[in-house]
Structure 1
Amino acid sequence: MKHILAVGNATLDLIFALEDYPREDSEVRAQDMQMRRGGNAANTLAVLSQLGHRCALAGVLADGAESDLILADLARHHIDTSACQKLAGRPPTSCVLLNRRDGKRTIVHYRDIPEYSFGSFQQIRLAPWDWIHFEARSNVGELACMLRHVRDQRPDLRCSLEVEKARPWVRQLFPMVDVLLCSRAYAHAKGFAQPYPFLHWLREQAPQADLIVAWGEEGAYGLDRYDQQHHSPAFAPPEVKDTLGAGDTFNAAVIDAFLRDLTLDEILQAGCHLAGVKCGQEGLDDLVAPKLHRVK
């Protein structure tokens, strides 16, 4: 068991399950509707907690009745929220359209409270932690201060950074982390259609890090700090039911595997395997890994 802190988002997700994705200016009836706690960092911690780690969230929580579900779910997953900022307002909220035909999801996100601040992060004692995971959000300047603070106070403490979107100035964070976890969407936004050219471009920005990019149905690709290329195929569930949170599940399994000192090949395989399990079920609970089929 390790102690893991994640800096990032916890949201209220309104999930509408649809028979198919609706046309613009149409009216359709949902087959199901759920309210869940979401957010990349919170999702990753929920999975890491299931993998046996002690987890804490450093984020912003709205102080109001709409946040009760978020707080209850974090507590259910034994995620410590004592480092969170509590502010008046509505919680960050996502409307998720889940296409049951193929398991894909479309998200509309609303947020009117600020991102987590460096001032709050400074109050956290760094001594207990074995790993800190950062979600690259719009507060890049604050995140840079946080990472510099970690490097000054605990240079031995391993840090990972999730880069999902092409946010302005996010590259200034790359030289300060040990593991970079990038999305295919970010690679495409930077003009790359193939994973290895993207990873070698990323190497120029982060010469010290292990580099990973998830590539959907092709699995995941990695470039270790010795510039050796690695790949794991995807693992397909018998039926794709829900891809919401699959990337967060992948990140959790990768962090867990790094903490177990596995090789990068094994780390990528662990991430792809658990992400495949996630795609075969709704929600993030009970992620027990059954046998899956490699995507050929």
Structure 2
Amino acid sequence: MKHLILIGACYLDTILTVPEFPEEDSKLRATSLKVRRGGNCPNTLEVLQQLISTGPSCQSVKLRPHLISCLPSASATATRNILSSFGENPLVDFTRCLYREKYDEPASSYIIRSEKTGSRTIVNFNDLPEMTAGEFQEIVPAFSSEYSDGNETWWHFEGRIPETTLQCIRHLRQVTPKSRISVEVEKPNREGLVEIAAEADVVFYSKTWAESRGYNSPEACLRGEAKSSRASLMFCTWGAGGAGVLRLSGGGEYFHVPAIPTGQQISVVDTIGAGDTFIAGALYALHIEGWGLEAKLAFAVGLATTKVQKEGFADLTR
């Protein structure tokens, strides 16, 4: 059994769907309103939970998923709702989450989704104290004692607070040198993301981040960033353009998979969480023996393409 630990923020998403994005100081009637649990790592874990139960090779892929996230008080209604969103008997372990007992409200995202363009505009508010490097260092020993089973652990970081994330990664390198570490590099112009990417074994770059650095394709991004990274694998998602992966060892092998196969069409319903779904697919596929790197990439891209054609994350493995 390998322990897959995801570290990132958990949000309560309020999603307003509108005919078109409103002008400033105007009024507009929404066509729908949905409230659901969000956050990059929790979304990824929701998909991983499905894959571990019913995905391809699920009998041979032995993963135990964990979430490390700052949540309101353990007795708060919001916290109970967030945890119950993973189902009655979740595979995800929440015992290492950081419960902020003086707080009752979760981090929140307010998302305006335009039917006209398919765009989404997100406004976040988070009053919860962020995890500190010291708190993380106190958690790490649990995975070498309570969960010790002779196998290495895999740690995945959202990359929200780069300075703290860098301290956490360097601590893992010192105390658990066999661990594998992956990071998500998503938000443009966030100081310190280059430094944490340089320390990881696997890196996931977003299109918006790549374009903010002047890259015009996944391959350009990956080959450009490879010059300053120790990573063995680097992924870059490109929205409707699919995604690419670069293996830094073995001569720099590169693969690209389009989001939509040639000659096919899809109906886009909900793009919120597509990147999180891709990461879930990639993390899962990387643990399937017998698949080549291009097949692993194709699985992650196909899963994300399936997700954008339906609301939310339910039943993706069908």
Alignment TM-score, normalising by the size of structure 1:
0.90
Instruction: For structure 1, list consecutive stretches of 5 or more residues without a partner in the other structure.
Output: 290-296
1:271 matched to 2:271? no
Check whether the contact 2:20–2:114 (CA below 8 A) recurs between aligned residues: yes
Check whether the contact 2:8–2:41 (CA below 8 A) recurs between aligned residues: yes
Check whether the contact 1:6–1:133 (CA below 8 A) recurs between aligned residues: yes
Which residue number in structure 2 is paired with residue 84 of structure 1? 97
Query: 2: distance between equivalents of 1:246 and 1:237?
Result: 17
Which residue number in structure 1 is paired with residue 68 of structure 2? 58
Farther-moved stretch of structure 1 (74-83 vs 162-171): 74-83
Post-superposition CA distance 1:210-235 (Å, at most 9, x none) = 11100111100111123111101103
Check whether the contact 1:20–1:99 (CA below 8 A) recurs between aligned residues: yes
Which residue number in structure 2 is paired with residue 293 of structure 1? none
Check whether the contact 1:237–1:280 (CA below 8 A) recurs between aligned residues: no
Give the drift of 1:189: 1.5
Which residue number in structure 2 is paired with residue 136 of structure 1? 159
1:257 matched to 2:285? yes
Post-superposition CA distance 1:26-78 (Å, at most 9, x none) = 21111221110000011111111111143111110012333332122145443
Query: 2: distance between equivalents of 1:248 and 1:110?
Result: 20
Query: 1: distance between equivalents of 2:20 and 2:163?
Result: 40
1:222 pairs, out of 245, 249, 257, with 245
1:6 partner SS: strand
Which residue number in structure 1 is paired with residue 173 of structure 2? 151
Distance change >3 Å, CA 274–CA 112, structure 1 → 2: same
1:234 pairs, out of 250, 259, 267, with 259
Query: 2: distance between equivalents of 1:264 and 1:280?
Result: 25
Distance change >3 Å, CA 103–CA 286, structure 1 → 2: farther
Which residue number in structure 2 is paired with residue 14 of structure 1? 14
Which residue number in structure 1 is paired with residue 190 of structure 2? 167
Query: 2: distance between equivalents of 1:79 and 1:10?
Result: 14
Distance change >3 Å, CA 2–CA 31, structure 1 → 2: farther
Query: 2: distance between equivalents of 1:252 and 1:20?
Result: 31
Question: How many residues are aligned here?
Answer: 288
Give the superposed CA RMSD: 1.9
1:186 matched to 2:186? no
Alignment TM-score, normalising by the size of structure 2:
0.84
Check whether the contact 1:5–1:56 (CA below 8 A) recurs between aligned residues: yes
Which residue number in structure 1 is paired with residue 55 of structure 2? none
Instruction: For structure 2, list consecutive stretches of 5 or more residues without a partner in the other structure.
Output: 53-62
Which residue number in structure 1 is paired with residue 45 of structure 2? 45
Q: Identity rate of aligned residues, in percent?
A: 33
Give the drift of 1:199: 1.1
2:85 partner SS: helix
Amino acid at match of 1:269: A
1:94 pairs, out of 95, 102, 109, with 109
Give the drift of 1:101: 4.2
1:46 partner SS: helix
Post-superposition CA distance 1:132-182 (Å, at most 9, x none) = 1110012x2221221122222222221110111132122221232111001
Give the drift of 1:237: 6.7
1:51 partner SS: helix
Which residue number in structure 2 is paired with residue 68 of structure 1? 80
Query: 2: distance between equivalents of 1:194 and 1:31?
Result: 35
